[in-house]
Structure 1
């Protein structure tokens, strides 16, 4: 009888431990997924003739690696996963200088941020923005930072164009 009680107790401890580990692992994985680009910077290269969006590359690593990759580049936009500039974020730099009237057309889906954006902030003389879906058949324009892209566009932005008003 004592042996059976010990087995039940051990089983209960093991099952409880497994559930505890599973419950701790799920949020950690979700956080890792949402912040998977926390140590990455995206570099948008000057637009090229015949291309719809500017070519974009990704640099990931420690702070020194990111600083080296973004050196001499202009921070254009910081995108966020949640409204109010919260949650996971990604910095997007331009290697063709700050925004001008031509601006940058950024295919955020090419770097894993398509259908994740809820808010963003503009930098580097970028004052205007325009976001659209992947087929670019619907869009919405904004002036300045965007605290929330709205229910229609939340987690649906695939292309982001930023430019200067001068």
Structure 2
């Protein structure tokens, strides 16, 4: 009991310090470049922290024009050294998030898209642990996995239910009970 209390105190102290040292989650990374009308975003995340803490967002850029434009802005910002991400970290797209089912109806319906890069390499057994922004939590409807991310452990917004979803190829076109209800997305091999 004494060790559990000490571990809990340590985790709480770490959670309080992370924002102070510049670590943010996707939920907290409502980038200054992101505006309400921005439909396309690209972000780089690091591996999940100790004790199940979410992956830190190392960089994020958004665009109203296209996903390619958001990626170009992200690459430009990273190459200028104005983020915590490096160019090497842009080699691994972990997954794409879509606002509508069936990948925005196979891109025939306008909707938001976010590309998520893995700052610590492709997916592995440990995976990343990404907490979506408040908007994505209530609007994430389909996911395509990349870079060995074949599955995602999805947790609902209330953090009371978790389930494995296949996300490779076309298998993540509908998220079932997690449709517009994703509190945590943990892609892995």
Question: Shorter-chain TM-score: what band?
Answer: 0.5 to 0.7
**TM-fit CA distance, 1:82:** 0.3
**TM-fit CA distance, 1:37:** 4.1
Corresponding residue for residue 147 of structure 1? 173
Q: CA RMSD in A?
A: 2.3
Between the aligned partners of 1:106 and 1:77, the Cα distance in structure 2 is: 11
Residues 149 and 51 of structure 1: is their aligned pair in 2 closer, same or farther, counting only changes over 3 Å? closer
Please, which of 134, 144, 154 is the counterpart of residue 157 of structure 2? Answer: 134
Corresponding residue for residue 157 of structure 1? 182
**TM-fit CA distance, 1:118:** 0.5
Confirm or deny: 8 A CA contact 2:44 2:119 kept in the other structure. Answer: yes
Corresponding residue for residue 137 of structure 2? 114
What TM-score results when the alignment is normalised by the length of structure 2? 0.60
Divergent runs of 4+, >4 A: none
Count of matched residue positions in the alignment of Structure 1 and Structure 2: 129
Corresponding residue for residue 99 of structure 2? 81
**Gap regions ≥5 residues in structure 1:** 1-31
Confirm or deny: 8 A CA contact 1:103 1:162 kept in the other structure. Answer: yes
**Gap regions ≥5 residues in structure 2:** 1-34, 64-68, 79-85, 105-110
Confirm or deny: 8 A CA contact 1:109 1:159 kept in the other structure. Answer: no
**Larger strand proportion of the pair:** 1
1:100-158 deviation per Cα after TM superposition (whole angstroms, max 9, x unaligned): 11111110136x421110001000111111111234220221223401112x3221112
Corresponding residue for residue 102 of structure 1? 126
**TM-fit CA distance, 1:97:** 0.3
**Bigger CA radius of gyration:** 1
Confirm or deny: 8 A CA contact 1:80 1:117 kept in the other structure. Answer: yes
**TM-fit CA distance, 1:71:** 3.2
